[in-house]
Amino acid sequence: MTTNSVINSPGMSRNASADTAMKWLPLLVLCLAQLSTSGDNATLSIATGALVKDLHASMDLISIANAMYSLAAGSLMVAAGMAGLIVGWKKTFRIGCALLFLAELTAYFSPNMIVFTYGARLLSGIGGSFMIPSVLGLIASNYQGRQQAIAFGAIGAASGVSFAAGPLICGLLVDHLGWRAAFAAIACLCIVIFSGSFLVPTPAKPERKVVFDLPGVVLTVIGLFSVILGFLKVSSWGLFTPFNAPFTIMGISPAPFLVLFGLIVLAIMLKWERHREATTGSALIPLSFLATPQVRNGLYLTAFIFLAYGSGIFVTVSFVQVVAGLNGIETGLMILPFALGVVVCSLGLPIVWKNANPKRMCQSALLIGTLGSVLCIFGFGPSDFSLIVPVGMCLIGISMGIVSAYSSYIVTSALPARDAQQSGGVQATSRNVGQAIGVAVCGMVMLTAITMTVQGMASNDASLSQDTQQKVANMSVIPYLSDTGFTKLMLDQGVKQKDVTELNQVYKTARLKATRAGMMATAVMTLLFLFGTRNLPVRAKGSDDVAGEEPRAKKSKT
């Protein structure tokens, strides 16, 4: 038998196909895990109206429920990254999956918003803090070279699918079966994911023992909790001028002080981590994360992905639902081009363009995202939007997809094997902080713009009574509302119906300016990320490797 006949034999082809399937089937499980956490948050967004009706939730309670996931997940993900190294990534993955299942079950049976918020949402955040770093850790340990780049791109694509499919599927479930059924569906998905985890290979344990860092964990949780909460509250408490803050510090909103306190605690934590790594050889945030320029730039880009999502989607969805009156399903269809941009670019680029220049690709992506944000500005009208908005959102999605295709691999390819696995927690935290900053900045810009514009135009409108002008001037903040919502707000303030009609025209103008200002803030933030791309690699590590071959192994032979 010749050599060629052996190589091309049907038996070996079947074995190769089976090996390929077993190599990529675990990735499907990890992508479903990414979908489950995104779907959980999407369900809450779509179910807001139903929660207000069934559980008598106020918008303040809805806001707290939304923030609970980000607070819990963002605060604990770095610690979960170290826990994965100690007990094993598969164990932390399953722990996260089980906690998310309990969260969905708690949501399904919630009798009131207290149980829903401090039970279901808290459990969901803790579950996500274990699951997402584990997903990234399992990819870093089980895939190498080009396969790792493709795997990270697939996770980005899963996020894109969730952006589009989440609102559509959840909207259908909420509209036809109720909001409890939507959370029950995610619980069923968690069962599928937990069962599928048995297909995921168990990574090898680190060569050097990792000891859990309790003082570092405490400092990290306090610091990140304070920073994320501070950013989340900027839009409601104000940046400097207080809006609806529970208290003030020297007449200033407590939000910036909370962020500053968190940053100080994190600075102390980093000092402690340097000492701990020098004495024990392990740390929550290894020195290599901060000392390697490529890793720092990769983490900046990881933050950008969710900053762009948080800010762009926040502004657009606020407008199309509050002003244009779209429901959940219609909103999902409107942002479908955005999601397609994320999916196609994040998954397709590592496969089709394996020798691309990561630095140039990411820089181009940021420029594309900036252009998309600017386009959206011209697509908004006083009460509706044009097709320019979906086109602009598609460009933002393409921008996110391109960056998502490279950011995680940029981080892991510059680190030793153990640190690459542990980087999942820091990458996931960067996402949460990026999203919190994006929403905070856009929310603050929009509220400030709408308040100042309404008050300025009202004070110069001679057709309004002095009493109405004074009442408008005395309002600390004017929220982003629908036309009927603003009418009710003014009537509750004691404004006469005649003046309310005139103020409605003023408010439409102010709301449009605020929406455009929010999208302009997204464009500016996207453009600023260009300054964090200087140290990106110009050539993807392992771009010429045979799929599955590990670059680190090749280095060890030289």
pLDDT band of residue 259 (cuts 50, 70, 90) is very high
| Residue bearing the bigger pLDDT, 78 or 510 | 510
pLDDT band of residue 539 (cuts 50, 70, 90) is low
- Whether pLDDT at 449 is above 70: yes
The rounded mean pLDDT for the chain is 83
> Once rounded to an integer, what is the mean pLDDT over residues 457-464?
88
For residues 415 and 65, what is the distance between their CA atoms, to the nearest angstrom?
A: 36
* pLDDT given for residue 17 in this prediction: 52
- Whether pLDDT at 43 is above 50: yes
pLDDT band of residue 21 (cuts 50, 70, 90) is low
* pLDDT given for residue 184 in this prediction: 93
Q: Which of 184-193, 374-383, 473-482 has the lowest mean pLDDT?
A: 473-482
> Once rounded to an integer, what is the mean pLDDT over residues 85-100?
93
Q: 347 to each of 42, 192, 352, 363, how far by Cα in Å?
A: 22, 23, 9, 18
> Once rounded to an integer, what is the mean pLDDT over residues 431-437?
81
| Residue bearing the bigger pLDDT, 389 or 241 | 389
pLDDT band of residue 18 (cuts 50, 70, 90) is low
Answer whether 207's CB lies under 8 Å from 76's CB.
no
* pLDDT given for residue 67 in this prediction: 76
Q: Which of 92-101, 268-277, 306-315, 367-376 has the lowest mean pLDDT?
A: 306-315
- pTM score: 0.80
* pLDDT given for residue 96 in this prediction: 95
Indicate where the chain has its CATH 1.20.1250.20 domain(s).
Answer: 25-205, 283-543
**Residue 494 CB neighbours (<10 A):** 9
- Whether pLDDT at 22 is above 80: no
Q: Which of 11-25, 97-111, 266-280 has the lowest mean pLDDT?
A: 11-25
* pLDDT given for residue 14 in this prediction: 52
Domain 283-543 has CATH 1.10.1740.110: no
The CATH topology of domain 25-205 is Growth Hormone; Chain: A; (1.20.1250)
- Whether pLDDT at 549 is above 70: no
Answer whether 100's CB lies under 8 Å from 125's CB.
no
Percent of the chain at pLDDT > 70 equals 91
- Whether pLDDT at 370 is above 90: yes
| Residue bearing the bigger pLDDT, 21 or 371 | 371
- Of 493, 423, 499, 486, nearest to 458 by C-alpha is 499
Q: Residues 6 or more apart from 43 whose CB is under 8 A from it?
A: 166, 170, 173, 174, 179, 182, 183, 186
- Whether pLDDT at 6 is above 50: no
pLDDT band of residue 544 (cuts 50, 70, 90) is very low
> Once rounded to an integer, what is the mean pLDDT over residues 250-266?
92
Q: Is the dihedral of CA 292, 297, 298, 299 positive or negative?
A: positive
- Whether pLDDT at 428 is above 50: yes
Span 166-218, pLDDT tens digits:
777 877 887 788 889 989 999 999 999 999 999 998 887 766 677 788 888 89
